Chains A and B, each alone.
Chain A
Amino acid sequence: MHRVLLICAVLCSAACPLAAVAQDLRVPASVTAGDDVTIPTTGSGKATFYLVGPGVSRKSEVSLGEEIRLQGQELWNAGDYLVLVCSDICNSGTFYVTAAKPASFAFLVHPSRVPVGQSDAVSGVAFPFDQFRNLVLTPVTVSFQLTAGNKPLFSKQVRTENGAAWFRTASGKSAGLLQVVASLDDLSAKRAVQQVASDPCNLRITGQRIPIGVLVQTEPVHDCAGNVVPDGTIVTFSATEANGKSTVDAPIKQGIARAQIEATGATVVSVASGVVMGNELRIGAKP
């Protein structure tokens, strides 16, 4: 709709001079969103004033020779505006409304969960907006700070380009909450990334005979950085004996996975979690 109105207005302003005497209309080149603007006019008598811009269009009667006053609330949206004054003749002018100073910003961080010790695994991007939700294209400096626990991990100041500032960095070494803060002047936004343990490392099992077979369990399962692998992670126990093979997919609970395996003969038990293998355990036949 806005585009149609703009085209109509331009066509009208092009056609009007054919039937009118030239008239002077001086508009400012650039205006900050939300600011009041006055446009001086020359001549005398009544004229019709048109304002066409992003999300706004207005028609009103004005007196030539007096200033035309545009309220700040008509100029909230950044972008190109067209003004048109028609009496016997029409005259037009355009001006650009730029975003005001940053009043808020959107801050996106990816991913929400990340294994520890991964390079270029955490990224974030900030978009500053003014109070009217216009993207601020004027370069501003955004400060990014990453902290795990109370320990700072990463800090960087980045100038926005085309309204965006971003960073990318490696995840930390310890599982837990990674706080990511972006700040711009007195504005700040906080996001959290869950740093989780990586693949299990040095997976080890112990076992013993019980009346119904073999009870095997892992030692506390950690990743290579020493983080406890989260509960619920599946550990696969495989027991091979002369009669065949038995497998149990058991979840880690309280740091340990355990399983009962029905095996009476000499048994070799191995363990794996995902694509990571652990040690093998040989248990003798039931006496």
Chain B
Amino acid sequence: MKFILPISLVVATAALMVLGLFIGGQARGTVGIAAGSAVYTPKADNAEQALKNLLADVQRRNWDRALAAVSKSSATDKESFIQEWTGSNGSLRSFSALEGFESRPLHITPDEAQIRVRLHWATPVGPLEDVRDFRLIREGDVWKTVLPKIQVPNVPAQVIPVTYLRWDLVSGGAADEWGSRNVDAPHVRIISMNAVDSAEGAVVMGEIVNEDTVPAFVNVNATLVDSAGSAIDDETSFDKINHVLLPKQVSPYRIDFPNISLKNVKSVRMDEKATLVPASADPVIGVMNQKIESDVQGKSVLHGDLFNQSGQTVNISHVIVSFYDNNAKVIWVADGYEDHALLPQSSEPFAVEIPKSVAPKVQNFHVVVDQYSLGRS
């Protein structure tokens, strides 16, 4: 017993630890924290494992190890490699962390492989997915990833004259005479509304316009009412709207009611709220080359380029699109966040997915862009 028990305990511990590597073990990192290295990393003796190792090191921000898994034939250097994965210029990518990934081989030969990876990013605005295809080649007894040359936007030095336009809000003091300094809330109007059932539940959507001559902070609330006149649920447009509308600006809105069917709904009570807020008329972002196409996965996608016409960097842009049928009725509102920053006078591509059930009916669309610029919110 003197030797059998300790040896048994040591063996049992070792066996359990080996088992632990195969059951439920995850190398998850914590956002913003380099989580250290793995004590054990499987050898990259097949293409999928090589890519997994590379992405695991990217997750942990172990750049040297990650670069070691990249083929020397790649047209990339350490700096641009890191920038590609961590973002730059305060873009959404620079706030994001690679949370997980799923890979699927597209084509594998003994010396070369093409693997499609669905990357799951945790970002400040919610989870984002990114599909990328990687090429891997065998180098000796290990596989390595070949990365293409990364295009880093290059903005030439220039001076852009800007007529700066903004609205400030001055609050009256408490001592003011009653009624002498009242400033009315901006006048906004819902110009269209449509309610549909979707796979996730009921959806209320449409467009709202600021009819006033001052900027408005707007929010649209909807209450679903049943046949007895009782409220079933009430929700708001949340981030599916451009909250700050400049004079005469139109924004789509979408209000989701998860797990509710319109079958039980008798009417929808709409309530738009508008308040006066300080705002700026800049930057101006153009939406160029908008076109509906099918992507590699066969999904209908609205593609285009966001063109920053101003002289300031837009860190994160949010694209909101209303899709119309042939009667000019809003039949869907979709949105997407752009993970690259928009540098002055430069473009970045964007894509917004259209649900399968809606895509055939789409005749026209209207794109608006909301933006976040560091230090100017």
Contact = CB atoms under 8 A, between A and B. Distances in A.
A112 B209 contact: no
A262 B247 contact: no
B99 interface: no
B35 interface: no
Contacts of B163: 253-254
Given A236-B250, A243-B291, A274-B210, 7 more contacts: A113-B212, A232-B213, A243-B289, A247-B286, A247-B367, A251-B165, A260-B309
Interface string A16-49: 0000000000000000000000000000000000
A58 to B, nearest CB: 31
A196 B213 contact: yes
Contacts of B309: 248, 250, 259-260
Given A106-B178, A245-B290, A113 B248 contact: no
Contacts, number: 111
Contact of B289 (A107, A244, A248): A244
Listed from nearest, the 9 A-B pairs whose CB atoms lie closest are A244-B291, A274-B248, A248-B286, A251-B281, A234-B249, A108-B179, A233-B247, A246-B288, A196-B213
Contacts of B305: 262
Interface in A189-204: 189, 191, 196-197, 199-200
Interface residues of B, number: 41
B98 to A, nearest CB: 32
B318 to A, nearest CB: 14
Interface in A64-118: 106-113, 115
Interface residues of A, number: 41
A249 B249 contact: yes
A250 B184 contact: no
B213 A247 contact: no
Contacts of A196: 213
A230 interface: yes
Nearest to A243: B289
B290 A248 contact: no
A273 interface: yes
A107 B178 CA distance: 8
B291 A234 contact: no
Given A108-B179, A109-B179, A249-B368, A230 B213 contact: yes
B284 A274 contact: no
